[in-house]
Amino acid sequence: MVHILIATPDKDPLLEFSTGFNKSNDVEFTWAMKCEEVISKINQNKFDLLLVDEMLSDITGIECLNKVVLENPFLNTAAISSLSAKDYHEATEGLGVLMQIPVNPGAEDGEKLFDYLNNILKMTNPDLKKRINR
């Protein structure tokens, strides 16, 4: 089972994005609205990926990633951001963010992230290849 935590104040715009993960029937989504919830959830559960929206209910997604890396520096993360590639790189440098996701992402963006995450998980856990149905 692949566990994904999505932090956003409004999950409706990300529902299409999450359909890009439908290559596998073995994906479970958990949702959070605030960074405070994200920190609590990552301290209580194991997640394979955290996706933060550009703006959460309490702080920006990148500010949240700065806090998350202190709690769990090995958590795979991605961030929705409207920053230019250069500004995004500057803002997330050292945070180990896997990928920048465009604002209002579609299913194809979810599929791209899922494929990237799937490859990482297979490298770190060869038995996972058997568990993820493709």
Say if CB 91 and CB 65 are below 8 A apart: no
pLDDT higher than 80, residue 24: no
Closest by alpha carbon to 65, among 3, 1, 5, 113? Answer: 5
**Cα-based angle 108, 109, 112 (whole degrees, multiple of 5):** 85
Alpha-carbon distance of 97 to 51, in angstroms, equals 10
pLDDT, tens digit (0-9, with 9 covering 90-100), for 56-96: 999 999 999 999 999 999 999 999 999 999 999 999 998 98
- 3.40.630.30, 3.90.330.10, 1.10.1370.30, 3.40.50.2300: which CATH number matches 2-131? 3.40.50.2300
Can you give the residue ranges of every domain in the chain?
Answer: 2-131
The mean per-residue pLDDT over the stretch 5-14 comes to 94
Q: What is the pTM of this model?
A: 0.88
